Amino acid sequence: MAIEFNPLHALLLDGQGGSRPLTPAEVNAWSPDQGTLWLHMDYTEAGTREWLEQHSDLPELAIESLLAENTRPRVALLGEHLLMALRGVNTNPGADPEDMVSIRLCVSATRIISTRKRRLMSVSRLLEELDKGMGPSNSAELIVQLNDRLVERMGTTVENLDDSLSDLELDLLSQPSGEMRQAVRSLRRQSISLRRYYAPQRDAFNQLQNERLSWLTTEVKLALREVSDRLLRHIEDLDMLRERAAMAQEELTSQQGEQLNQRMYVLSIISAIFLPLGFLTGLLGINVGGIPGADNDNAFLLFLVSLSLMVGGLLWLFRRWRWL
Interval 255-267: pLDDT, tens: 778 878 888 888 8
Pairing of strands 81-88, 9-13: unpaired
Sign of CA pseudo-dihedral 95, 191, 88, 130: positive
pLDDT band, residue 112 (cuts 50/70/90) = very high
Please say if the pLDDT value at position 178 is more than 70: no
pLDDT given at position 1: 45
DSSP state for residue 32 in the 8-state scheme: G
Please say if the pLDDT value at position 2 is more than 60: no
Domains of the chain, earliest start first: 9-255 (3.30.460.20)
Please say if the pLDDT value at position 38 is more than 90: yes
pLDDT band, residue 289 (cuts 50/70/90) = low
Measure Cα distances from 161 to 19, 82, 90, 252 in Å: 36, 34, 14, 19
34 CB neighbour count, 10 Å cutoff? 12
Cross-strand partners of 74:
85
Please say if the pLDDT value at position 113 is more than 90: yes
Please say if the pLDDT value at position 37 is more than 90: yes
Residue 114 phi, psi (nearest 5): -125, 150
DSSP state for residue 83 in the 8-state scheme: E
- Residue closest to 189 by CA, chosen among 97, 73, 71: 97
- Residue closest to 247 by CA, chosen among 178, 168, 174: 168
209-234 mean pLDDT: 86
pLDDT given at position 250: 82
270-290 mean pLDDT: 79
Distance CA 242, CA 146 (A): 27
Percent of the chain with pLDDT over 90: 13
Residues 6+ apart with CB under 8 A from 283: none
Buried-exposed string 38-76: b where 16+ CB fall within 10 A, e elsewhere: bbbbebebebbbebbeeebebeeebbebbbeeeeebbbe
pLDDT band, residue 106 (cuts 50/70/90) = very high
- Residue closest to 143 by CA, chosen among 108, 194, 101: 108
Distance CA 192, CA 240 (A): 11
pLDDT given at position 40: 93
- Residue closest to 157 by CA, chosen among 124, 115, 116, 122: 122
pLDDT given at position 3: 58
Q: What is the mean pLDDT of the chain?
A: 84
